[in-house]
Structure 1
Amino acid sequence: MDLINAGDAAAGFAAFGQLPAWFFEVVFKGGVGLVSAGQTAQTTLYLEPGVYVIECYVKTGGKFHGLFGMAKQLVVTQATTDAAPPKASLQMTLSREGGLAIEGKLRPGLQTIAVHFQDQGPHEHFLGHDVHLVRLTDNSDVASLEAWMDWSSPTGMETPAPEGVFMGGAQEMPAGSTAYITAQLRPGRYAFIAEVPAPSSKGMLYTFQIPEGKRAAR
């Protein structure tokens, strides 16, 4: 990352290619997504028994937060809760070809969105696609938000985040996986956005307005 921050992106990306072989066998299994300070988020997903790592890859001073201790091992045992998946109020599909597609109406109140990863694969920044929910404010600039979502830019994922409230989401998962985002949607302006370079060009940026009352979003 130091090379990228210094303006030598080619050398920086080449250095990532020299990571140990085991790194390229890591499977990204999802997570809760970006959450602003003071907020709580809920994402439900299925984890098979095994060893996992939870990490934060937001940056401060050009360094990932995982380097500051924001990483923790998680062991999932063979025991099961037999819990059923949440009941979704609408469906979302993510894919490289179709971008972000929503089936159903976004309405005020507590919503559970089933996020289906139709496919998966690395984008220009070596990672796959995911989705995050952001409540936009009067001072939010969507173009700044879009640029910030690319970690491979020196200013991408760097604190402080652009104006807005991150409410969680569904981190990168393998093709065929489903995660469930549960969030309270109050009247206001929102965006679903993927953490990929230029998400709008890939159909992975969707802004919407939750109106007062029980009407659907527009």
Structure 2
Amino acid sequence: MRNTNLKLVIILLMAFFMSCKSDKSESSNKFSATEIYKPIKVVSEGMEFQMKDTLEAGWNTFKYQNKSNEVHFFLLEKLPEGIRIANYKNELIPPFKKATELLLQGKVDEGLKQFETIPTWFSKVKVSGGVGLISPNVVGESTFYLEPGIYAMECYVRMPNGMAHVYYGMLKEVIVIDRKSQLERPKSSVNLSVSSKEGIVLNDSITAGDHVFGVHFKDQTTYQTMLGHDVNLVRLDNFILTDTLNNWINAADLNAFRSPAPKGLTFLGGINDLQTGATGYFKASLTPGNYAFISEVPNAKEKGLFKTFKVID
């Protein structure tokens, strides 16, 4: 009888410890999954990016909360080997800033002369995605693939005086380490393509509700702004504002792309410049109203890089 009781106690203890081990394992896995799929938080309360400095390579989701009073975005630019953010600040920003100052003063020849002093490594910078334009108190969420390397993160929307936000502190170094994130490619509910030849092509109808937009970059090119095309989602109070939007987003015009953005336009995010053949994704929740996809390029409407659509209830 005593041996029987002892065996029973041992069995119960073993069951208890196995249960604890199983619970611990399940809890650990759940925590791990939560960390894996947690978006990278980016916050701007002024002229800054609050974000961790180091990321894993592969698919990354960025959740950008704009708590400032300005329209912002961020673009990640992969720097050539051996170039760091100090090079960006000390070698690239000064000629761009000086050129802007001179051009705003009407000294066109002197301003253009400044571009001759841009470092040769700038031609090797690779645009690598980012969250599109977002209005104050709006959150944008975008997912794209990052290769290992050193990146510059910037916003060049302009202040009312015509000087870019990057000159006031919206520049950050981001290090992407050679270790793959476990995030998988998102599944899109709406698919678009963008190219310099075909413009923005919408492949699906759009209804009210939550959507994941997949944007395929058929090609990428360089415009007068020294950058390529992207896709931004905008809500318009009225379609009469299409020309206003088209003119404001033209960064080749020094009087455009300045804050505050025109009234009646709410920027909801998007996907910034990616390389040819790449696909990026962004989330948005749509209510009935008037919307547009637009690239931040000169004369987007003429290039077919401006597409309006209406969401009905």
1:42-57 mapped onto 2 (5 Å cutoff): 42-57=141-156
Per the alignment, residue 304 of structure 2 pairs with: 203
Q: Describe the SS at the equivalent of 1:145.
A: helix
1:4 equivalent to 2:103? Answer yes
Q: 4+ residue runs of structure 1 moved beyond 3 angstroms?
A: 7-14
Larger relative contact order (Cα-Cα within 8 Å, sequence gap ≥ 6): 1
Per the alignment, residue 170 of structure 2 pairs with: 70
Distance in 2 (alpha carbons) for counterparts of 1:6 and 1:156: 15
Per the alignment, residue 206 of structure 2 pairs with: 106
Distance in 1 (alpha carbons) for counterparts of 2:131 and 2:240: 22
Q: Deviations over 1:85-126 (max 9, x none)?
A: 111012111111100001111111111111111011112322
1:186 equivalent to 2:287? Answer yes
Distance in 2 (alpha carbons) for counterparts of 1:94 and 1:160: 27
Q: Match for 2:291: what amino acid?
A: Y
Larger radius of gyration: 2
Per the alignment, residue 121 of structure 1 pairs with: 221
Q: Would you tell me which structure has more helix in proportion to its own residues? A: 2
Per the alignment, residue 88 of structure 1 pairs with: 188
Native 8 Å contact 1:4 1:153 kept in 2:
no
1:177 equivalent to 2:305? Answer no
Native 8 Å contact 2:295 2:305 kept in 1:
yes
Q: Describe the SS at the equivalent of 1:45.
A: strand
Q: Equivalent of 2:248, from 128, 148, 151?
A: 148
Q: Describe the SS at the equivalent of 2:126.
A: coil
Distance in 2 (alpha carbons) for counterparts of 1:180 and 1:75: 21
Distance in 1 (alpha carbons) for counterparts of 2:173 and 2:102: 28
Q: Match for 2:283: what amino acid?
A: T
Larger deviation, residues 185-194 vs 120-129: 120-129
Give the gaps of 5 or more residues in structure 1: 213-218
Deviation at 1:10, TM superposition (A): 5.5
Native 8 Å contact 1:140 1:162 kept in 2:
no
Give the gaps of 5 or more residues in structure 2: 1-99
Q: Match for 1:156: what amino acid?
A: A
Native 8 Å contact 2:230 2:274 kept in 1:
yes
TM-score (norm 2): 0.65
Aligned length: 212
Per the alignment, residue 26 of structure 1 pairs with: 125
Q: Match for 1:127: what amino acid?
A: L
Deviation at 1:158, TM superposition (A): 0.7
Distance in 1 (alpha carbons) for counterparts of 2:303 and 2:109: 23
